[in-house]
Amino acid sequence: MVTVLLKQVKEFKKDSIMTPCFMVLEVFMETLIPYLMGRMITNGVEAGNMDYILQTGGIMLVLAAVGLWAGIMGGKHGARAAMGFGKNLREAMYTNIQTFSFSNIDKFSTASLVTRLTTDVTNIQNAYQMILRMCVRAPISLICAMAMAFFINARIASIYLVAVIFLACCLGVIIKFTMKYFSEVFKKYDDLNASVQENVTAQRVVKAFVREDYEIDKFHNASGNIYKMFVKAESMIALNFPVMQITVYSCIILISWVGANMIVGGALDKGDLMSLLNYCMNILMSLMMLSMVFVMITMSMASARRICEVLEEQADLTNPEQPDFEVPNGSIRFENVTFRYNKNSESPVLDHINLDIKSGETIGIIGGTGSSKTSLVNLISRLYDVSEGAVYVGGKDVRTYDCETLRNEVSVVLQKNVLFSGTILENLRWGDENATDEECKRACELACADEFIQRMPDKYNTYIEQGGSNVSGGQKQRLCIARALLKKPKILILDDSTSAVDTATDAKIRRAFATEIPGTTKLIVAQRISSIQDADRIIVMDNGRVDAFDTHENLLENNVIYREVYEAQTGGSGDFDENGGEQ
């Protein structure tokens, strides 16, 4: 996992190496100062040598200045390395996501991809900076202080060694237990928040059934449990600081006693004693820093794992080696096609589909939810790959085409469609970058979008807000159709794309299609029979199979499902006010 992430350091390798180097230099400077101070006391003050005091003082100032410079440089390179690393991570993830097929995207879900690209990267970026600056610094500082202590007096320094080992063991045990407790608490805590979320979304249900007090009681119980678990976990952490203090205090007491004995015995001078006490503080500080870094790293592990998952995800749909760049016509053929979203799932989503659609035909597709209408059409532009069999467009297997060529010739208006923030024209030009204003207008006229665009204050330059929040559902659908039309595709697929458009406009769009782009093969997936009954032929889907494929009249006569739906919608119990969608 770490290697996958570290690969993204790239051009910031130099900075990543420089940072710890400067930190080490800073540590060296800092470690030398207490030693010189001790010398100054012994050789300067005690010996009464003024020059020595001034001389050593000068050296110390130089050391402090060098330390300052090193610290600043370390900070600078650290910032560059960490921010650069974050930048590269984001870019690498984004690049890899661009290669994802639909099934890769399904696997992650949009919300989780967003979190990974934003919060997770920020976490890692901060952790990386911390590691570069502290992870090297803390142990080096520890080692240096220890080495200096041994250099001054090995006997006293051995007290430190014992203390450090004792402290490390204690901290290790504390961390181990805290980790265990906290991972439990966090899980419960997430559950608690999930239940808050549930209550927020279901507030109307709670109120309608007058269950406020019931839910409050439930919440109190849960929060009480969490309280107990938190107290248990944090009580462990509460040991942290006292344990450190007791170690340091013991050291001070021991050094005072041993040191005093040695000084009196002549084996140590007072300056050395002061240096030693100073190193005691340094050692403690570096240990505290180490435990902090450790916590920080473990906390960012989850983020690291989530980022790696995105980076390591292999696109499961690739361009052929020698792609075909020519789609001869708009005919479509399904040959024994079976399709599963997940290789391991038992029941296929599409089961042995055989279809033959001629170029220029208008085909309606109807069927209940879960009857795999969308899955069927998504195979045509190779948004997913078939599990068995083959799909042919223009007489060639879709897997032999260059993906971009295929998708430009097979234009899909997705069921869950989005517009992007930008002007209407900019959005339309997703279909064709070089489309002229006239061409854009023409496409909008076909999609019956021109009429409402003309009524907007800035017409075609109207700015669409993020998520298309300033256009209605029906307007959005019509813009999406216009955008798809601009590709001038050989095959046009509308996947339930007029559901929010009123029946009259829907009919107008279909009429325009029939007269203006007769050569284009049109596939219309719909819930409403009226949207498809004029089609040349209609596919009736049921449970992943083609139940029937015939004209409206024949289906009405021969197909049970179709007749049922037809009767439900026109006489019996069909959708009633759907046509009110457009306001």
Name which of residues 414 to 443 contact another protein (CB under 8 A): 414, 416-418, 420-421, 430-431
Q: Which of 68, 162, 165, 173 binds another protein (CB under 8 A)?
A: 68
Site string for another protein, 304-343 (x = CB under 8 A): ----------------------------------------
Q: In degrees, to the nearest 5, what angle opens at C-alpha 446 toward C-alphas 442 and 452?
A: 85
Nearer to another protein, 335 or 567 (CB): 567
According to the binding rule CB under 8 A, does residue 215 interact with another protein? yes
E strands, 361-490, are: 362-366, 388-393, 396-397, 410-413, 422-423, 463-464
Q: Choose the stretch contacting another protein; rule: CB under 8 A; options: 104-112, 139-147, 286-294, 532-540.
A: 104-112
Nearer to another protein, 342 or 421 (CB): 421
Residue 468 φ/ψ region, left for φ over 0, alpha for ψ in the -120 to 50 degree band, beta for the rest: left
Q: Which of 9, 25, 60, 377 binds another protein (CB under 8 A)?
A: 60
Residues 265-304 that bind another protein (CB under 8 A): 270, 273-274, 277-278, 281, 299, 302
Distance CA 124, CA 121 (A): 5
Residues 74-93 that bind another protein (CB under 8 A): 74-76, 78-80, 82-84, 86-87, 90-91
Contacts (Cβ under 8 Å, ≥6 apart) of 330: 359, 360, 393, 394, 409, 490, 491, 519, 520, 521
Site string for another protein, 462-491 (x = CB under 8 A): ----xx---------------x---x----
According to the binding rule CB under 8 A, does residue 151 interact with another protein? no
Least gap, CB of 299 to another protein (angstroms): 6
Nearer to another protein, 126 or 359 (CB): 126
According to the binding rule CB under 8 A, does residue 227 interact with another protein? yes
Distance CA 403, CA 409 (A): 10
Least gap, CB of 149 to another protein (angstroms): 16
Least gap, CB of 8 to another protein (angstroms): 13
According to the binding rule CB under 8 A, does residue 555 interact with another protein? no
Strand partners, 538: 364, 550
The tokens describing 191, both together, are: 């559950």
Residues 497-536 that bind another protein (CB under 8 A): 502-505, 527, 530
Least gap, CB of 157 to another protein (angstroms): 19
User: Which secondary-structure segment (H or E) carries 546?
Assistant: strand 545-550
Strand partners, 401: 324
446 and 482 Cβ atoms separated by less than 8 Å: yes
Nearer to another protein, 108 or 549 (CB): 108
Least gap, CB of 131 to another protein (angstroms): 14
According to the binding rule CB under 8 A, does residue 118 interact with another protein? yes
The tokens describing 357, both together, are: 């659609």
According to the binding rule CB under 8 A, does residue 351 interact with another protein? no
Q: Which of 2, 11, 51, 201 binds another protein (CB under 8 A)?
A: 201
Helix 13-39 vs helix 270-312: crossing angle, to nearest 10: 170
Q: Which of 108, 83, 71, 112 is nearest to 8 (CA)?
A: 83
Q: What is the DSSP string of 35-48?
A: HHHHHIIIIIIITT
Q: Which of 361, 356, 369 is nearest to 524 (CA)?
A: 361
Q: Which of 65, 122, 88, 123 is nearest to 12 (CA)?
A: 88
Q: Which of 168, 196, 297, 308 binds another protein (CB under 8 A)?
A: 196
According to the binding rule CB under 8 A, does residue 175 interact with another protein? no
Q: Which of 172, 328, 368, 518 binds another protein (CB under 8 A)?
A: 368
Q: Judging by DSSP bridges, how do beta strands 491-495 and 521-525 pair with one another?
A: parallel
According to the binding rule CB under 8 A, does residue 495 interact with another protein? no
Distance CA 539, CA 549 (A): 4
Residues 378-407 that bind another protein (CB under 8 A): 381, 383, 403-404, 407
Least gap, CB of 168 to another protein (angstroms): 18
According to the binding rule CB under 8 A, does residue 195 interact with another protein? yes
According to the binding rule CB under 8 A, does residue 560 interact with another protein? no
Q: Which of 179, 239, 355, 456 binds another protein (CB under 8 A)?
A: 239
Least gap, CB of 192 to another protein (angstroms): 8
User: Residue 147 CB: number of other CB atoms within 10 A?
Assistant: 13
Distance CA 390, CA 405 (A): 18
Least gap, CB of 287 to another protein (angstroms): 15
According to the binding rule CB under 8 A, does residue 573 interact with another protein? yes
According to the binding rule CB under 8 A, does residue 186 interact with another protein? yes
According to the binding rule CB under 8 A, does residue 544 interact with another protein? no
Nearer to another protein, 118 or 342 (CB): 118
Least gap, CB of 514 to another protein (angstroms): 20
Distance CA 495, CA 381 (A): 13
User: Residue 482 CB: number of other CB atoms within 10 A?
Assistant: 27
Least gap, CB of 336 to another protein (angstroms): 26
- How remote is the C-alpha of 234 from its chain's centroid? 30
Least gap, CB of 573 to another protein (angstroms): 4
Within 153-211, residue ranges assigned H as helices are 154-201, 203-208
Contacts (Cβ under 8 Å, ≥6 apart) of 377: 365, 412, 493, 495, 523, 525
Nearer to another protein, 558 or 570 (CB): 570
Q: What is the dihedral of CA 132, 137, 138, 141, to 10 degrees?
A: 170
Which residue bears the tokens 């007489």? 395
According to the binding rule CB under 8 A, does residue 553 interact with another protein? no
According to the binding rule CB under 8 A, does residue 17 interact with another protein? no
